[in-house]
Amino acid sequence: MPNRIGRYVIELPTRPEIISWGSAVGKTESEGPLAAHFDICYNTDKVCDGTWEECESQLAMDAINKAFNKAGKTFDDADIIFAGDLLNQCAASAFAVRSTDIPFAGLFGACSTMALSLALAALSVDSGAARLAGAAASSHFCSAERQFRFPLEYGGQKTPTSQHTVTGAGSVLVSDAKNGMPYVKNIMIGRIRDLGIKDANNMGAAMAPAASCTIADFLRDTGTTPADYDLILTGDLGVVGTELLHELMLTREQTDITDVHNDCGLMIYDTETQDVTAGGSGCGCSASVLTSVILKKIMRREYRNILFVATGALMSTTTAQQGNSIPGIAHAVQICMD
């Protein structure tokens, strides 16, 4: 039964286990440094015969299918699935989950969705509301470009601070079974932080204050320091946001996280050689990185204690065009391995 520690952290004493996970990615991700770790690597972003939006749904389905298959579970074994994405009305997730017939709680956390879905899935299992709960998130470069910026055919140029939306998806299954798998120790739902950034091509800057706030709150509530973690993994701050996070943590929180921090947006691409401007972003970024190399390393006990902090920018093209600033949020999940 969940138990609040400090002001914001929720401890999950039953230690719900992440019994399996699946990831599926597109072409650019399959050419990046994590290629060997993904379950499914497409050599194209056109991963099905349909539209870009249907391709995104396909990636989400692939990741969900993979997680169930690896665990030897059927959809009927699951009590609930939490999922979300960046598309208007979270359509990619709804169309992906539609065929599974699993009770579906749709989420919107922008690029923080993988942490939000995993946190709520783990909470459901810890509380007894679910025995087996799914979590998933997805994004697609081409559906995101069309929706948030310009159709690909337009050939728009990118600014150096902009990030490249990951074509990919990730899914995990959380269970009340005790099999010595990685488990969720603590979760934390983040608060919105908005320091007035209005540049929709600089999401890293918009999200860094939220990441800093969540990490600082989490450390304070749990009475831990960065040195207690093998890895503090942010969602998709990219090159610009990562620098800002380090600075904010140092100047505002007097905490140096540089030794244990990495960012999914930096890991998924080689920002030196791949044409991805300031790194990866999108719900699929932290989702696919967590459900590939990270959980693999936790299984191998290369990491025994990580803090996963996915970050999201809660804006729309409408709010940006209307001159509003970009609210940022970051949710945290502590994953451990005995």
Query: Would you say 111 and 96 are in contact if contact means Cβ atoms under 8 Å apart?
Result: no
Could you give phi then psi for residue 284, rounded to 5 degrees?
-75, -15
* Binding of a second copy by 103 (CB under 8 A): yes
* Binding of a second copy by 6 (CB under 8 A): no
Q: How far is the CB of 300 from a second copy (least distance, A)?
A: 31
Pick the binder of a second copy from 6, 70, 106, 304 (CB under 8 A).
Answer: 106
Pick the binder of a second copy from 35, 36, 74, 98 (CB under 8 A).
Answer: 98
Measured distance CA(91)–CA(183) in Å, rounded: 30
* Binding of a second copy by 90 (CB under 8 A): yes
**DSSP for residue 100:** G
- Using CB under 8 A as the binding rule, the residues of this chain from 122 to 151 that contact a second copy are 123-124, 126-131, 147
Q: How far is the CB of 98 from a second copy (least distance, A)?
A: 5
Could you give phi then psi for residue 306, rounded to 5 degrees?
-125, 155
Q: Which stretch binds a second copy (CB under 8 A): 118-126, 161-169, 223-231, 267-275?
A: 118-126
The length of the chain in residues reads: 338
Pick the binder of a second copy from 27, 70, 105, 255 (CB under 8 A).
Answer: 105
Q: How far is the CB of 275 from a second copy (least distance, A)?
A: 26
Written as six digits, the tokens of 29 are: 């991700």
Question: By rule CB under 8 A, what string of x and - marks binding of each residue 295-324 to a second copy?
Answer: -------------------xxxxxx--x-x
* Binding of a second copy by 255 (CB under 8 A): no
Q: How far is the CB of 124 from a second copy (least distance, A)?
A: 8
Contacts for 317 with CB less than 8 Å, ≥ 6 apart: 147, 148, 200
CA-based torsion, 265, 328, 141, 202: positive or negative: negative
* Binding of a second copy by 115 (CB under 8 A): no
By beta-carbon proximity to a second copy, the closer residue of 102 and 205 is 102
Helices 52-71 + 141-148 axis angle, to 10: 140
By beta-carbon proximity to a second copy, the closer residue of 1 and 272 is 1
Measured distance CA(48)–CA(55) in Å, rounded: 5
User: Long-range CB contacts (< 8 A, 24+ apart) of 143-148?
Assistant: 143/51, 143/52, 143/53, 143/55, 143/56, 143/86, 143/87, 143/92, 144/86, 144/87, 144/282, 146/52, 147/86, 147/87, 147/88, 147/317, 148/86, 148/200, 148/317
Burial call 171-183: b when 16+ CB within 10 Å, e when fewer: bbbbbbeeeebbb
* Binding of a second copy by 183 (CB under 8 A): no
Q: How far is the CB of 196 from a second copy (least distance, A)?
A: 12
By beta-carbon proximity to a second copy, the closer residue of 124 and 292 is 124
* Binding of a second copy by 283 (CB under 8 A): no
Pick the binder of a second copy from 31, 54, 77, 253 (CB under 8 A).
Answer: 54
Q: Which residues bind a second copy (CB under 8 A)?
A: 1-4, 8, 10, 51, 53-54, 79-80, 84, 86-91, 94-95, 97-98, 101-110, 116, 120, 123-124, 126-131, 147, 188-192, 194, 314-319, 322, 324, 327, 329
